[in-house]
Amino acid sequence: MNPGIKKIDNILISENFTLKLLCEDDLYFCNSLYQDSELMKFVGNFSDDIFLNQSLKLSIQLNKRLPFERLTYCIFNNDRRIGITSLIRSKQINKHCEIGTIIHRSFLNLGVAREVMEKLIHYAFSKLEIERIYARFSYANKAANKLVQKLGFNIDAQENGLHYCYIDMKRYP
């Protein structure tokens, strides 16, 4: 275990939203997000997963481990679930991870993803000792393209219908 990371925060609070580590109570909501085919066409490299429930349950277990492999938070607006966001540690490079966020369709284009990702990026750089964060998303997702640029990500590659981008701790505002 990295001696600098003592624990994972169960709750992160941004100006308008609360991020709570994924738990069993969130599974139905998460399944509903992944079953929304219109929403999923914008998620980078998504494929139907017949083991989705097992995968989500694994995420809950991984939330409890240090050093973290994957952290998955459910996003709340007041008491309403409105999305999920994750950090997944790179297996190749220890201080790198990937970020992903899925927002319920009724909350798209309201600034949720930007505020939540800003909070999670800051948390990763300041508390989890992460040095680089990657993101990937579909070419079709114009909103994600604008978002990552506003957040300071650099587009690194384009391949198989996906944009790949990154942000470094040293260049993060």
Q: Which domains does the chain have, with CATH numbers?
A: 11-171 (3.40.630.30)
Please state the pTM of the whole predicted model: 0.86
Residue of 164 and 111 predicted with greater confidence: 111
Q: Which residues pair with 165 in a beta bridge?
A: 135, 155
- What is the distance between the alpha carbons of residues 140 and 63, in angstroms, rounded to a whole number? 31
pLDDT at 6 over 70: no
Of 146, 144, 150, give the one whose Cα is nearest residue 162: 144
> Side chain identity at 57, as an amino acid letter?
K
pLDDT in tens, 123-166: 999 999 899 999 988 888 888 889 999 999 988 888 887 888 88
pLDDT in tens, 65-81: 777 888 999 999 999 99
Q: Which helix (H) or strand (E) holds 58?
A: helix 52-62
